[in-house]
Structure 1
Amino acid sequence: MVFVTAVDLITGPGVGLLPLVSLGPAFAGLTGGWRRTAFIGAAAIALCLGLSAYDGLLGTRRGLTALLSVVGVTAAGLAAAVRRQRREAELASVRSIAEVAQRVLLRPVPQRAGQLRVAVSYTSAMAEARIGGDLYEVVTSPQGIRVIVGDVQGKGLEAVETTAVVVGVFREAAYDEPSLGAVGGRLERALDRHLGQEKFVTAILAEVRDDNTLTLLNYGHPAPLSVGSDGAVRFLEPPGRALPLGLGEHGVPGPKPYEMPFRSGDQVLFYTDGVSEARDHSGTFYPLETRAHRLRMPDPDMALAAVREDIMAHVEGPLQDDAAMLLLRYRPD
């Protein structure tokens, strides 16, 4: 508006820039609230009247056309600003509801469970919804600390519904069932009733007992990463591949549990494929094993935050898939 005024004062009415004063309320309607738009619109109308009087166009067809242009654009800007603010309020309400739903569905895990320190990081690919198809849970049972980390096939509300089924069944079964295999069987039966054909959930179940033993049961999920107290880094691959949850009721044998020692200072990182399959612009996967040194930070939450920031730096943009990480660290005596 200042630029148009300066040019009009310098060049006079012959150039015909007076209607361009309406650009002020037009941009105000796109970027500001309705009060700001109304203020700038009133200023534009006053400026248009003043320039029309200065140029001798007041009461002429050109002056009236310019004034009507400013008034019309101001009215349109006001309507756009009101509508945009209303949509922003609705979006904020939806986000708050999604956050509450996520806290109910994926409630915060305990930071300490027995001799374990637990940390979680969750990044949804749907930033507006802040909720996705990755899942995790930690349950303290009479048999030990039991953990699940999984990834539901698909996206959207259907994936969220399946996540709710898996987490709900696990919370009950992890406390009641005597073995991880029995917990997996409960999950299989529940998903067989819930899921449609060719739908599945990759998941890994874990149990940490008081005898310093970690037991794993892998349903087609990426192998967790072990970082020993001595600095040794390795993937905890299962003895054999198994089908994901939801496909085991078709007569195929389920996974076999495998055990390993889990002692003071050791830690295990569970994650979903949104971490291991995060790619940069050249298509290179995120090298999780070579970045395991970031997990040696004193605080587990800070360690996961460092890994998450490193993943974002690797992809140089938003993630294309949900990414969940759960870190179990055996606290030193």
Structure 2
Amino acid sequence: MGVVGLSDMLAGPDVRFRPLLALGPAFAALWCGMRRTALVGMAALALAVLLSSYSHALGKRQNTLMLAMVAGITVASVFASSGRQKRERLLAEVRSVAEVAQQVLLRPVPRRVGPVRVAVSYTSATAEARIGGDLYEVASTRAGVRVIVGDVQGKGLEAVETAAAVLGAFREAAYDEPELTGVVARIEASLGRQLSGEKFVTAVLAEFDEGDTATLVNCGHPSPLILRQGGVGAFAEPDDVAPPLGLTGLADIRPRPYTIGFAPGDRMLFYTDGVIEARDGEGRFYPLLDRSGLLKAADPEKALEELRSDVLRHVGGRIGDDAAMLLVRRR
């Protein structure tokens, strides 16, 4: 408004910049509250009166219309500021509810549980949402430490509802079922009562006991990455590719457990497809196996943070899909 006023004074009587003073309250409504927007509008109106007096335009019809326009835009800006503040408060409440729902759905995992250390990372494709269809859980049971990492087909509230159903079934079955296949069957039964059509959930379940092995059941999910002590990374591929949860009744192949070596110092990375499908500017997928050396840090949380930062550098900013990672290290 000061620039507009100075320009109006220097331009002479033939060129009038005074109507541009209405930009002051209009822009104030975008960032300021009602009171400050009203003060800016009053300052614009006062400056318009002073400039009109300086130019001997007070009382003229065109100038009076200009003053009325500045006053009207000021009033409209105050109301606009009030509406914006209400929407911001509503958005803050919604974000708060979403954050609480995320904490209930994806509870913090223990750093040390049984014979393993655990770290988890969740990166949302939509920073405002903080919640999505990727899921993970760690449970310490009589059979050992049981883990699930999965990815729900689709997005939005429906995906969140399905993820909640999977986690609820896992949290119950993990403590009751003696075998991982029983846990899978319980989750499948729960999804059968809720899913419709051809919706599905990819998931991988693991069980870590006091021995030097780990038992896995893969239901159409990307295979975990194994990093041996002092060695290179490799994917723990299943013998048979089982269909995702929700579709097992449509295929002849049933999810079957398979065992791999998991000695002290070994690391196992569970992840969702948001990691391996992250693309750079040239459309190249993230080379997880080539970057497995980033997981060699003794602290799983530090190793996982380095890998997450590398994924974000690869895409050059925000990822295109939710990405969940859970790193397990044999103590």
Alignment TM-score > 0.5, same fold:
yes
- 1:245: which partner in 2? 245
Q: Does the CA-based 8 Å contact 1:29-1:81 persist in structure 2?
A: yes
What secondary structure, in the 3-state scheme, does the structure 1 residue paired with 2:290 have? helix
CA 1:275–1:251 in structure 2 vs 1: closer, same or farther (change >3 Å)?
closer
What secondary structure, in the 3-state scheme, does the structure 2 residue paired with 1:242 have? coil
Deviation string, structure 1 residues 304-333 (Cα, Å, up to 9, x no partner): 1221121111112322211100000112xx
Q: Does the CA-based 8 Å contact 1:192-1:249 persist in structure 2?
A: no
Deviates more, 1:59-68 or 1:178-187: 59-68
Rounded Cα–Cα distance in structure 2 between residues aligned with 1:38 and 1:114? 62
Aligned partner letter, 1:322? D
Which blocks of at least 5 consecutive residues in structure 1 are unaligned? none
Rounded Cα–Cα distance in structure 2 between residues aligned with 1:45 and 1:227? 70
Aligned partner letter, 2:14? G
Q: Does the CA-based 8 Å contact 2:121-2:324 persist in structure 1?
A: yes
- 1:194: which partner in 2? 194
- 1:99: which partner in 2? 99
Rounded Cα–Cα distance in structure 1 between residues aligned with 2:161 and 2:141? 25
Aligned partner letter, 1:286? Y
Aligned partner letter, 1:198? E
For 1:261-280, list aligned pairs within 5 A.
Answer: 261-280=261-280
- 1:324: which partner in 2? 324
What secondary structure, in the 3-state scheme, does the structure 2 residue paired with 1:298 have? coil
Runs of 4+ in 1 over 6 A off after TM superposition: none
Q: Does the CA-based 8 Å contact 1:220-1:241 persist in structure 2?
A: yes
- 2:301: which partner in 1? 301
Aligned partner letter, 2:291? R
Q: Does 1:286 align with 2:291?
A: no
- 1:254: which partner in 2? 254
**TM-score, scaled relative to structure 1:** 0.96
- 1:236: which partner in 2? 236
Deviation string, structure 1 residues 161-220 (Cα, Å, up to 9, x no partner): 111110000011111101111111111111112111211100000000111211111000
**TM-score, scaled relative to structure 2:** 0.97
Q: Does the CA-based 8 Å contact 1:188-1:249 persist in structure 2?
A: no
1:104, distance to aligned residue in structure 2 (A):
0.9
- 1:66: which partner in 2? 66
1:35, distance to aligned residue in structure 2 (A):
2.2
* Number of positions where the alignment pairs a residue of Structure 1 with one of Structure 2: 331
Aligned partner letter, 2:8? D
1:32, distance to aligned residue in structure 2 (A):
2.1
Rounded Cα–Cα distance in structure 2 between residues aligned with 1:276 and 1:107? 24
Deviation string, structure 1 residues 47-97 (Cα, Å, up to 9, x no partner): 011101100011111221221121111112111111111111100000100
Rounded Cα–Cα distance in structure 1 between residues aligned with 2:76 and 2:315? 41
Q: Could you tell me the percent identity over the aligned residues?
A: 56
Rounded Cα–Cα distance in structure 1 between residues aligned with 2:231 and 2:305? 20
1:124, distance to aligned residue in structure 2 (A):
1.9
Which blocks of at least 5 consecutive residues in structure 2 are unaligned? none
Aligned partner letter, 2:117? R
